[in-house]
């Protein structure tokens, strides 16, 4: 697994985190092969770490005298499994270079990221190192995914994707439902890197042929919305069973997937919560801005209430991912207001 730490100049924060993180991961996961590197969004080439950075790390027993800065744009970002950014601005920059949001995280996101100590006092550097050290000690190393080669799973996935392809609505040149399934599965894999076959298939079924029952067929009020959603979920469950059974999935696997798709899992069910988190993350990352634009008549307070209701559905892990998302300023401000104590 490869991890990249990102700041601006790559002479202070990112090399400190890379050194601290590698030490902690090596201690806690001695059997894992881990590479931790660093780079800067505005870094010069081959610049040494600052004197205060070297001194702070020496106090930790770490030697950064041989560190030399690297420009982020010179790296193959696709080679990194996780990119840890010091601020949301860095995350937005990395995202603009094609890295999926699910592979990005802002360090100490709850407090707005990690301020740049460059040009500050020794105390500023020590405070920065303390924040980075806490993060390194508590950050959970993602599990490495394993290849799925189950024939029934592959056949079921192909059948589901064929069903998705029937959606007449397009998103970025792809049937909308198919694009949604890919986004949801991507978040499921970020939250649960080694998912069960049931969870992975369920992640492909959340909007299964929802387009076949138009919302316009129901009353355009709250009661009509709930009636439509109930009809969609019922058909979704039936189609899931039909497609998975025809693909050769066992009755137990088929039943479990249908159970998850119907959101019938009891409170505390880990896989049910992962699906809920993934759906909320898709909404926040890719749908909330469009939703807001389509409801310009809503007050700011109404949007905040919607976000709060979404937030309450999420686990702490899901909320942590959401806070690290590089979002438009207006959306980020609404989320900050919604989750404030």
Which residues are known to be catalytic? 7, 13, 116
Asked whether 326 and 92 are in contact (CB, 8 A), the reply is yes
Convert 118-150 to b/e letters by CB count within 10 Å (16 or more is b). Answer: bebeeebbebbbebbbebbeebebbeeeeeeee
Residue with tokens 């999420």: 314
Number of C-beta neighbours around residue 313 at 10 A: 14
Q: How far apart are CA 74 and CA 5, in angstroms?
A: 14
Among 265, 274, 317, 260, CA closest to 186: 274
- The DSSP annotation for 279-316 comes to HHHHIIIIIHHHHHHHTTTS-HHHHHHHHHHHHHHS-H
Q: For residue 111, how many other CB atoms are within 10 A of its CB? A: 10
| Cβ-based neighbour number of residue 158 at 10 Å | 12
End-to-end CA distance of the chain: 36
13 sits in the region (left: phi over 0; alpha: psi -120 to 50; else beta) called alpha
Reading the block at residue 259, the tokens are: 């159970």
Tokens of 290: 């469009």
Rounded to whole angstroms, the Cα distance separating 184 from 178 reads 10
């Amino acid at each position: 697994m490869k991890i990249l730490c990102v700041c601006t100049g790559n002479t202070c924060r990112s090399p400190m985190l890379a050194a601290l993180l590698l030490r902690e991961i090596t201690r806690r996961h001695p059997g894992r092969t881990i590479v931790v590197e660093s780079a800067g969004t505005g870094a010069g080439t081959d610049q040494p770490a600052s004197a205060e950075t070297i001194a702070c790390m020496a106090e930790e027993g770490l030697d950064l005298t041989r560190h030399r800065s690297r420009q982020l744009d010179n790296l193959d970002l696709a080679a990194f499994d996780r990119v840890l950014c010091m601020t949301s601005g860095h995350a937005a920059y990395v995202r603009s270079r094609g890295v999926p949001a699910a592979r990005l995280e802002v360090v100490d996101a709850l407090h707005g990221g990690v301020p740049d100590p460059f040009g500050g006092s020794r105390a500023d550097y020590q405070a920065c190192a303390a924040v980075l050290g806490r993060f390194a000690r508590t950050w959970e190393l993602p599990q490495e995914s394993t290849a799925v080669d189950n024939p029934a799973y592959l056949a079921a996935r192909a059948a589901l994707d064929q069903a998705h392809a029937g959606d007449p609505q397009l998103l970025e040149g792809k049937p909308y439902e198919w694009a949604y399934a890919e986004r949801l599965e991507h978040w499921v894999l970020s939250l649960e890197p080694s998912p069960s076959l049931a969870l992975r298939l369920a992640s492909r079924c959340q909007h299964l042929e929802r387009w076949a029952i138009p919302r316009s067929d129901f009353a355009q009020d709250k009661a009509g919305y709930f009636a439509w959603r109930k009809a969609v979920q019922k058909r979704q469950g039936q189609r899931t069973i039909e497609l998975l059974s025809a693909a050769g999935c066992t009755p137990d696997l088929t039943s479990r997937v249908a159970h998850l798709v119907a959101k019938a899992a009891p409170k505390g069910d880990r896989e049910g919560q992962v699906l809920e988190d993934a759906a909320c993350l898709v909404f926040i990352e890719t749908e909330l801005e469009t939703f807001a634009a389509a409801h310009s008549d809503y007050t700011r307070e109404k949007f905040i209430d919607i976000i709060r209701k979404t937030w309450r559905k999420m686990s702490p892990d899901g909320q942590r991912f959401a806070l690290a998302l590089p979002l438009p300023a207006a959306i980020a401000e609404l989320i900050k207001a919604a989750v404030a104590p």
